[in-house]
Amino acid sequence: MNKVFSFSLLVITVVSLNAQTTDVVTGLSSPYGIFLNGTDLYIAEKTGGKISKIDITDTNPTAVDVITGIVGPTDIVLSGNDLYFLENGSEILSKIDITDTNPIPEVVITGLSSPTGMVISGNFIFIAEFTGRKISKVDITQSNPVLVDVLTNGLFYPNNLFLLGNELYITDFGYDFVLKIDITDSNPIATEVVADLDGPSNVASYGNQLFIAEHDGNKISKINLTDPIPSPIDVVTGIDFPSDIVFHDNVLYIAELSGNKISKLEANLGIDNMVLKSKILLYPNPSKGTIQLLNISGLEGYKIYNSIGSKVLEGSISENEKINIQNLQNGVYIIELSCGKTINFIRN
């Protein structure tokens, strides 16, 4: 059956949080990087020389050691059962199997220059090399992986990375700005997102808002990604050197480096106060390869129609999966979700 839709602008509601933090777990040793896998929050304790984890659903979580005896861990990512971690002190990327009772680290790549942050996309891990003043990447499927430069120009002290679709956000601790590049470009050119920050350590997105941990400013700020010239707004101050942040549902988790703790920023859903609302987002848009959906819950069925209402694709997707649209002709399409939501997008 052909369907006729009226094309309309997707309106994204502003995200706000009630600026009051709560301690989640204390007594850590300089938590530098955090990574969320389901309800398990992995923590790189830099001066403690270990990776620990907590269950964020616990009322009073206790940090459990995952691996100890490593040198200055700064960040973590998980791929299947393999937990990858950066050792800033040894300037290496290592991994362990989290299903092992007594895991033994395996070195993946050496020769990094003060690695402080990373993200994973498919087979590649992208790494921020702080004193190397560059972004590099490594293919973790290779038996003898080789480090490849991604971006070497325009960086002073790149501190951490955040991936949104194909856009890689880079926090620069030296120049006090956030940049972004398209990781699908063979020779990416960095674009400034926001400047005049105070020691940005990492970012996290929710809806159309980009939250920024400002390490030297002891605060979390945010910008609206739809603004052509965004201006940071303070969300919460008095944070003890925030080094990393991550969202889970409506809660922002914060690694407080000097506070030796993980805290959280609760959403306030009261009508009379600040309200947190999120709309389902599709990115990147336009796209020439794949698209993803943000803020969907569980498995979502979808149907894609072209501009004359003919169905061209059908399936189901979760938030971390991608829809391949490479075989679609260039043009305007509508994706209809099982929840009733429809979103326009362009295949270019």
Tens of pLDDT, residues 6-34: 433 333 334 444 468 999 999 999 999 99
% helix, strand, coil for the chain, step of 5: 0, 50, 50
Same domain assignment for residues 170 and 214: yes
Residue 17 falls inside a structural domain? no
Same domain assignment for residues 321 and 198: no
Same domain assignment for residues 199 and 83: yes
Same domain assignment for residues 320 and 235: no
166 and 201 in contact (C-beta within 8 Å)?
A: no
| Residue-level pLDDT at 309 | 81
Token pair 């020779």 is found at 187
Same domain assignment for residues 209 and 301: no
Same domain assignment for residues 170 and 197: yes
Give the three-class secondary structure for 243: strand
User: pLDDT tens for residues 113-165?
Assistant: 999 999 999 999 999 999 999 999 999 999 999 999 999 999 999 999 999 99
**End of a domain among 239, 266, 293?**
266
Residue 116 falls inside a structural domain? yes
| Residue-level pLDDT at 125 | 98
**End of a domain among 205, 233, 266?**
266
Residue 8 falls inside a structural domain? no
Same domain assignment for residues 338 and 203: no
Same domain assignment for residues 239 and 287: no
| pLDDT lower than 50: segments of the chain | 1-18, 268-278
**End of a domain among 266, 298, 323?**
266
Total of domains in the chain: 2
Same domain assignment for residues 246 and 308: no
End-to-end CA distance of the chain: 26
| Residue-level pLDDT at 177 | 96
Q: Which domain holds residue 297?
A: 281-347
| Residue-level pLDDT at 279 | 62
Residue 273 falls inside a structural domain? no
CATH number of residue 69's parent domain: 2.120.10.30
Same domain assignment for residues 164 and 194: yes
Residue 94 falls inside a structural domain? yes
30 and 50 in contact (C-beta within 8 Å)?
A: no
Same domain assignment for residues 38 and 85: yes
- Measured CA to CA, the distance from residue 73 to residue 86 in angstroms comes to 5
Same domain assignment for residues 89 and 212: yes
Residue 16 falls inside a structural domain? no
CATH number of residue 322's parent domain: 2.60.40
Query: What is the pTM for the complete model shown?
Result: 0.73
Residue 11 falls inside a structural domain? no
Residue 275 falls inside a structural domain? no
Non-local CB neighbours of 239 within 8 Å, separated by 6+ positions:
21, 213, 218, 219, 220, 254, 256, 259, 263
Average predicted confidence (pLDDT) for the chain? 88
Token pair in block for residue 252: 């922002």
